[in-house]
Structure 1
Amino acid sequence: MNRITGSARALLATAALLLVAGTASTASATADTSRWASEQLPPGNVSLTGYAKPDAHTTWAAGFSITESGLAPVLYAKDERDDRGWIEVPTAPGYAGRVNAVAASSARDAWLVGDKARTGTAIATQHWDGTSWSVFAADAPAAASSAGYLSVVAHSPTDAWAAGWATIVDGVTTDPNGEPTQVIHREGIVGRWNGTSWQRMTLPQPYPSWNLNAITVVTANDVWAVGNGTNDDDKPVTLHYDGHAWSIVPTPAFTGLYGELYGVVAHGPNDVWAVGRTVLDPNDRGHALIMRWNGHAWRQVSVPAEAGALAGAAPVPGGIVTVGQKATADAEPYGLHITAGQARSLDLPAPSPGGANYTSAVGVDCGRVTIVGSGAQRAQILTGRL
């Protein structure tokens, strides 16, 4: 069984007004791959994990590359006024490691978030002030052997939010061979930027071991974070912040043995969407799991049987666009446009020769869709229209 736990979104890098008891119908159509264009990118062994649009002309795609000395941050930029297409642009000097997510509130306020260095307790984040990137450390729990932020929202220059995980060392025991083995568990973490520094927030503990994969901000007093329990508690987790404290919000019984939420987006306080994966049987690699908050409760949304694990989502009028994989052994890229009670396939093109391509993040601007991901040891960006 191919179960995904821990830092799920990074490992994958790879409707409208539904009634409480209603489901979304599936609209089938002949695939039209001509609507999608594969963007030309700089060469390199790169995995893309995030998408942002800092201004009306500029698009960013962020991720990391694998080098001889380890992982290195990567940021691609495209300016519609420039005929050079996608180019690699520098991030903060001296920064090393993954970039798991990118977000921007304006051309002068953006964030890149990644993982904790192997030594110390700091999670490295980078801030863009319109001129250059600067590194700001965010504290992880003192007992964390590893940690990182997987999602970030740039709400304003004095208010940003990030969510992720920390692996906590509880002690040391011996394995059956008498070798020392660490006893560990996972904890979700949320940090909030106050304009000067990151402050780690106090969270409830939904399970003995669990993590957070994504966060979205409706207002400064209305924030959602989603993830999953781990090990035997591999079930969806949703947390809500009301301006005073975080609380656990129950999710409904879902179809499947296990369930995880990897992405969350909001139209408003009474319309929040979470996407992820459910495992239907021990041999299932994962089917799509979508839940919608109506202001009172979460409800599972019906999706096509071919839809597999969904890693990212973006709001569109009346619904969402979400991307991930097909629920098949070859894990082809897959996307859905959910609106007006229907779930329509985005008809993404088949993977290129050399291996499967994974979609990890999506953005929509004026009907233009940008999907980022990776596969066959190369980055991939698809653009098209709904």
Structure 2
Amino acid sequence: MNRRSFLMVAVFLLAGCTASTGNDGRAARVRAPLAARPADLQVRRVEVGVPRWYDRPYVEFGDADHGYALFASCAGRPPSSDCPARLYATDDGGRTWRRISHPRPLAPGQRLEVTSDVPALLVAGEGWYYSLDDGTSFRREPGAVTPSVLRALRGQVQVDPRTGELVRWQGGGWQPLPSRSPLARPTSVYGADGLVVVTTVAGGRPLLAVSFDGGVTWRRPRLVTLEGDIATLRVAASVAGDVWLIGERAEPGRFPALWHYDGDWRPIVPPRDPGPYTSAVPFGENRLAVSGREGGAVVLADGNGDLREESWPLHGDHRLTVLADGALLARGPDDLLIRASGEPGWVRIVLESRRPRTDE
């Protein structure tokens, strides 16, 4: 089932409160054409119909095309009658933006998340508002726990936030796996088809459990322990299903321990320390994108961890995530950059509030 089909099924399976919204604004005009910048950086700068007294928006993408922007404060103040929160959406990679109605424009303490192409707002004290139809309407789910449909989009197998047990999304709901994981307190899990990978850490040692039959039987592979204690161990996969283990160190900024699955869990040791480290995500086959103080680099599983420096326009504050279509997103304190899958360069997304007219 493709992603769109899944969402359509979810509409019928999930019941909830729907707040009717509509598209009350036309697509915003791109103020400047896409222009080349040093280090393969392009800028998409768009002016939207937001008064200039609004603060900079929070922008999030689910894939390289679908993104949302939340304007939710003015001069650091929460939403009010003269500063209601506003939502904008793009489906062309930020070239144009359209306004969509906000389900709770005056609510304080709201946060925007986007999973795949589904926008969701967490409103303090109220719960979640999410849309399965590109922002045309929103459903409400009370409570702080992430709605089931959003969790399902993030992965077939999850750790149940209530019980700590492993569950799989089946038939519009979460069902326990056939047998319990041999790890008492799993902290990270990945599941696709019949493969389930579960990790945790005990006493600074990485622990791993793997099932190849959907959780019916389990194996406990031994990981070759690299030098130093591991603080947390997470399993991460590219959209192609290329699986890595990333062992974060106790010392902040120290490069993590890495393992790659190629029929066995092989430790990956770059020939040199890439320097202070910020984030790492798998993308494509046998490649791990890394950001840090020195910029960007790629660790190649082929050749036991060859390190390839990249002229990416990143700095030490950029944190990488991989989107639903394999695109890379780099978020810094002041900007957001996207590198679409298969594209050589990066795009900086910039939304600006309406500028005052020069004849006023």
Q: Same fold (TM over 0.5)?
A: yes
Segments of 5+ residues of structure 2 without an aligned counterpart are: 1-36, 49-54, 80-84, 346-360
> TM-score under structure 2 normalisation?
0.56
Matched residue, 2:255 = 287
Query: Is 2:73 aligned against 1:34?
Result: no
Matched residue, 2:12 = none
Matched residue, 1:242 = 213
Query: Is 2:319 aligned against 1:359?
Result: yes
Give the counterpart letter for 1:298 in structure 2. W
Query: Rg: which structure is higher?
Result: 2
Query: Is 2:281 aligned against 1:276?
Result: no
- What displacement does 1:242 show? 2.5
Residue 65 to residue 310, structure 1, CA distance change in 2 (3 Å) = farther
Match of 1:85, SS state, is coil
Matched residue, 2:279 = 310
Match of 2:115, SS state, is strand
- Counterpart-to-counterpart distance in 2, 1:359 and 1:52: 16
Q: How does 1:119-268 map to 2 (within 5 A)?
A: 124=128, 126=130, 128-129=132-133, 132=136, 134-135=138-139, 147-148=145-146, 154=153, 161=156, 163=158, 166=161, 187=164, 190=167, 192=169, 194=171, 197-202=172-177, 204-205=180-181, 207-212=183-188, 215=190, 217=192, 221-225=193-197, 228-229=200-201, 232=203, 235=206, 237=208, 239-240=210-211, 242-243=213-214, 245=216, 247=218, 249-250=220-221, 252-255=223-226, 256-258=228-230, 259-261=232-234, 263-265=236-238, 267=240
> How many positions carry a matched residue from both structures?
280
How much identity, in percent, do the aligned residues show?
9
1:225-283 alpha-carbon deviations (Å, 9 max, x no partner): 555448x5673655546245474653513323114226223646xxx32253432xx54
Match of 2:318, SS state, is strand
Match of 2:180, SS state, is coil
Query: In angstroms, what is the RMSD of aligned CA positions?
Result: 4.9
> TM-score under structure 1 normalisation?
0.53
Q: Which structure's residues are more often strand, by fraction? A: 1
1:22-74 alpha-carbon deviations (Å, 9 max, x no partner): xxxxxxxxxx96223355477725374x6425xxxxx124697875559x997
Match of 2:311, SS state, is coil
- CA contact under 8 A between 1:229 and 1:235: conserved in structure 2? yes
Residue 33 to residue 132, structure 1, CA distance change in 2 (3 Å) = same
- CA contact under 8 A between 1:60 and 1:77: conserved in structure 2? yes
- CA contact under 8 A between 1:115 and 1:147: conserved in structure 2? no
Segments of 5+ residues of structure 1 without an aligned counterpart are: 1-31, 54-58, 104-109, 140-145, 169-186
- Counterpart-to-counterpart distance in 2, 1:237 and 1:73: 44
Larger relative contact order (Cα-Cα within 8 Å, sequence gap ≥ 6): 1
- CA contact under 8 A between 2:198 and 2:210: conserved in structure 1? yes
